[in-house]
Structure 1
């Protein structure tokens, strides 16, 4: 097994490159563009709908009508949404399972096999992926067929591609991002350098957090060009000799040409808060400024960004609100 090269702090940084990078950080949006739509955790967004969990209920918020519909589900967490279907982890029976809810028919079904207390489902079309006990599963809810597709965790799905974190599948490297093709059943290694984690996919773009140093930084890989670029800054040293970077990888998401992420450190790279990165322009925008050590969970769909407070880092949070920001406002 190869011990991969690891990223470490350099003695000095290129002042010019750092200056260019910082120019691309825009100022924070005004508070008038941000709306609090509820309280809870783990928001997700699709179209004009936002879903989140709040202990014993799942909330479904319609942005057009500004209505909030709730569904009882004890121990509900990690919801996701695609079109008119919701999925989340449910523990109301005392045993972890996945709940699948169809909005038009108001019917709920459950996935009970191969689910554990850490399972976080992701849905695209009629397919749901999740991990349990270091295995990745794919279920087609239209045919009720379920398959183990890999060894790993933190899967995400787009169309016929599934990406996930693995430390045991590729004999040449120890930590990888793997991509599985549902049609061909073939797997390839997308990333094997540093400490790649929490992969996300949309279209031909795969992003992940390289968490070898501190809170990590964001990398994007284009499957059509086989090119990889850094979205945010790895660990480095500013012109004054202060350490910065590797502070943007705790929660990441992608949709179309936008990447959203949390930053909880005030350093040379920027202020803490919720950011949107535009892949077309190469520009990061701070859309909401938080104090240091506040960790958020931003998600994005078209011009809508939603976020809550990360349950894994609640000590620095001032509230558990669910917030919505309209990029087009």
Structure 2
């Protein structure tokens, strides 16, 4: 990547003569060079816009949700309006169409709240929910885990089903990805097909966690030899790919903060062992096998993606960037 920096006549004079007084202040060559370095660093990150305050964003099409102070926010990118849904202890929101779901402990007892942001109807899932239940949703189907068991709830039929032993599920269409570790093995990634009612092991080796699924692609974080490098399995071709290859000396890719949509994967690259929950947001293009940096500062968290929109939280703020014209 090449950066073009426009240098004014005054700055060029400083570079040529080793320092001049500008507005009564002395600028050295070193300070000017530092300015140019910072300018090129800033240029490496895509343009982003702050749309609100909070954390744990999720996105579906033009709707972005997040939590702030225990309440849920729904932001419409088209109208730029932010609607607040009352709750005192909401976390981990997810959205598909008009349906929202989040983990809720406002009563002191863990449950999942279902909310239709068009009709404003609210209901709850209480069976098979614990303090660590994090929901995911695709269409009318919601998945989560509790006490090392994966559950699914179909909003259209109001039915709940136990899927398999495991944790941290995700869902796309009729397929559910999740992790499971037997007494003798490290955690593996499985995909359950609701049509065939069968599971297959797509990771096959390593110590794997935090899977996400979209279409025929499954991604997860491999903790076997490194701290969370991303691997991807193609259900159609039955091929596995190592998406990121960072090691203990060059940065940590990526822990559990990943997401996938279409041909793109977003993830965090960690640069500080003291804070493995934060980093810089990167975009990986499955077609080209290349990554590009979207944020700077090493303080971003929980990036998510839908179509050409990437959202993340950073120091209590929610940011969005559009991928139009951005290529890895």
Bin for the TM-score computed over the shorter chain:
0.7 to 0.9
- Whole-angstrom distance in 2 between the partners of 1:126 and 1:248: 30
Moved segments of 4+, more than 4 Å: 27-32
CA contact (8 A) 2:45 2:294 kept: no
The residue that corresponds to 1:324 in the other structure is 320
Q: Which residue of 1 aligns with 2:209?
A: 197
TM-score relative to the length of structure 2: 0.81
Q: Of 135, 149, 157, which aligns to 1:143?
A: 157
The answer for unaligned runs of 5 or more in structure 2 is 1-40, 274-278
Contact 1:173 1:192 in 2 (8 A): no
Measure how far apart 1:93 and its partner are: 1.4
Contact kept in structure 2, 1:273 and 1:288, CA below 8 Å: yes
Q: Secondary structure at the match of 1:193?
A: coil
TM-score (structure 1 length as normaliser): 0.81
Higher RCO, 1 vs 2 (CA within 8 Å, ≥6 residues apart): 1
Q: In structure 2, how many angstroms separate the alpha carbons of the residues matched to 1:30 and 1:36?
A: 18
Q: Is the 8 A contact 2:217 2:234 kept in 1?
A: yes
List runs of 5+ in structure 1 lacking aligned partners.
1-26, 237-242, 310-318
The answer to whether residue 291 in structure 2 is matched with residue 279 in structure 1 is: no
Distance (Å, rounded) in 1 between the aligned partners of 2:176 and 2:192: 5
Change (3 A) 1:192 1:145: same
222 and 283 in structure 1: CA distance in 2 versus 1, 3 angstrom threshold: same
Structure 2 counterpart of 1:303: 308
Tell me the number of residue pairs that the alignment of Structure 1 and Structure 2 aligns. Answer: 281
- The residue number in structure 1 matching 2:175 is 161
What RMSD in Å do the two structures reach over aligned CA positions?
Answer: 2.1
Of residues 73, 89, 100, the one that matches 1:59 is: 73
Aligned equivalents of 2:46, 2:173: Cα separation in 1: 36
Q: Give the match's secondary structure for 1:308.
A: strand
CA separation in 2, counterparts of 1:234 and 1:32?
22
Is the radius of gyration larger for structure 1 or structure 2? 2
Pick closer, same or farther for the CA change 1:231–1:184 going to 2, 3 Å: same
Aligned with 1:43 (options 35, 57, 72): 57
